[in-house]
Amino acid sequence: MTNPAWTQALSGLVVNISDDVSLLQKVLRPGGLHPKHPLRLNWEAPTPNSEIRFEFHHLADDIRATQDAPGFGSLRRQLTKNASDFQNFRYELRMAASFARSAGQRLLSLGGDHKGPDIELTAISKHKCGVACFRAADNPPSLGETSDMLNELAMSLLGPISTAPGESDVMLEMAFPSYPLSRDIFSEMHRLLPKAWKHPEYACVFGASGTSVVRHPYPDSVGTNRRRVRLRARVPVPVGEKKRLLEKITEKIRKEEEWASRYKGVPIFAMEASSFGMFLSAEDLREVIGDQSHSFATFIITKAFFNDNIDGTGRHLMERIEPAHRLQVGLNIGIETFGASIQSWSEAVSVKVDVA
């Protein structure tokens, strides 16, 4: 069987690609999923990028770490059948694998579509833990529209870059005055970008509506032979976005309290921070965490994001983890985000976090 196109995407991975492809085909059968399923779309992408390849290798690692746990079949059904909530269940799988990989811990069960904890484990400190997983990253439709506009702007610059001379290492930072982006603001930026590229003597160009494009040196430039141009967009976060997230988190906690209040162990609330609100911190959640009406002893706030490798050779997935305790119970729990395939991209370097 021919390997999918994503296996050819440029990356620094040194892995046995066929093992990961075989595992994903056996467990998830991406090619047979609904045509609009995120897994199938990426699996069959004709021109995938290295981030898609990274995600598939990471997914294979996570499956290896969790597939023998009770409840894996239920979670697999949700991953394959529930396309609209795929990312939510993918977060459950990612957290379960991160717990399972940490030495001195044991993964007890996965919830999948069953009531109760999404994950159960025995922590390093020997506490039995039940974990509720929640992605606060279910962003409003306007964010998807903004993302589409930004992608269109990026594609519009390909022509000027290929035909007009310019610097080999440069970053153009687009600044927008408001959110969501209007078509007028979009059109204005569409005119500014080529001007900013064609005139390197301008440190900044401004539009009449408050838009601007600022020229910066390429981050972590190492003087490669490639022409590298990056676009960065600065879009203001609406005042109500943090309030919206806090309301959704409170609603989720109330729902999970049904099992957490009766749990014979340590109930934990794990939350993936919003892509739009960026890093929603423990300080932002102080009132929610300290609320005495719920039973969760510990909150774990995570944020996975792609960041440039410092040597300029690729983009690496990183994860920020911030614990916050409501109750001090002597808990020591390990989180190890990456498995063998992904570690090989970073020359077998793995970062483990113990949440004590």
172 plus 189 within the same structural domain:
yes
pLDDT in tens, 85-105: 999 999 999 999 999 999 899
pTM for the whole structure: 0.75
Percentage of the chain beyond pLDDT 70 is 79
228 plus 246 within the same structural domain:
no
271 plus 216 within the same structural domain:
no
Per the structure, the complete domain to which residue 85 belongs is given by 5-101
Pick the residue with more confidence: 92 or 216?
92
- Whether residue 127 lies inside any domain: the answer is no
User: In which residue are the tokens 């046995």 written?
Assistant: 16
pLDDT, residue 220, reads 58
d(CA 93, CA 76): 9
347 plus 256 within the same structural domain:
yes
pLDDT, residue 15, reads 63
Number of structural domains (the chain) is 3
- Whether residue 107 lies inside any domain: the answer is no
pLDDT, residue 219, reads 63
Q: Rounded to the nearest 5 degrees, what angle is found at the Cα of 86, between the Cα atoms of 139 and 52?
A: 90
Q: How confident is the model at residue 232 (pLDDT cuts 50, 70, 90)?
A: confident
DSSP secondary structure letter of residue 322 = E
pLDDT beyond 90 at 47: no
Question: Among 158-162, 273-277, 325-329, 345-349, which stretch is predicted with the lowest mean pLDDT?
Answer: 345-349
In this structure, the dihedral spanned by the alpha carbons of residues 274, 311, 345 and 54, taken in order and rounded to 10 degrees, is: 40
pLDDT beyond 50 at 10: yes
pLDDT, residue 310, reads 42
- Whether residue 320 lies inside any domain: the answer is yes
348 plus 264 within the same structural domain:
yes
Q: Rounded to the nearest 5 degrees, what angle is found at the Cα of 130, between the Cα atoms of 29 and 105?
A: 80
Cis (ω within 30 of 0) for the bond into 180?
Answer: yes
155 plus 256 within the same structural domain:
no
pLDDT, residue 63, reads 97
What average pLDDT score do residues 128-133 get? 97
d(CA 100, CA 102): 6
Pick the residue with more confidence: 162 or 53?
53
Q: How many CB atoms lie within 10 A of CB 272?
A: 24
d(CA 75, CA 28): 11
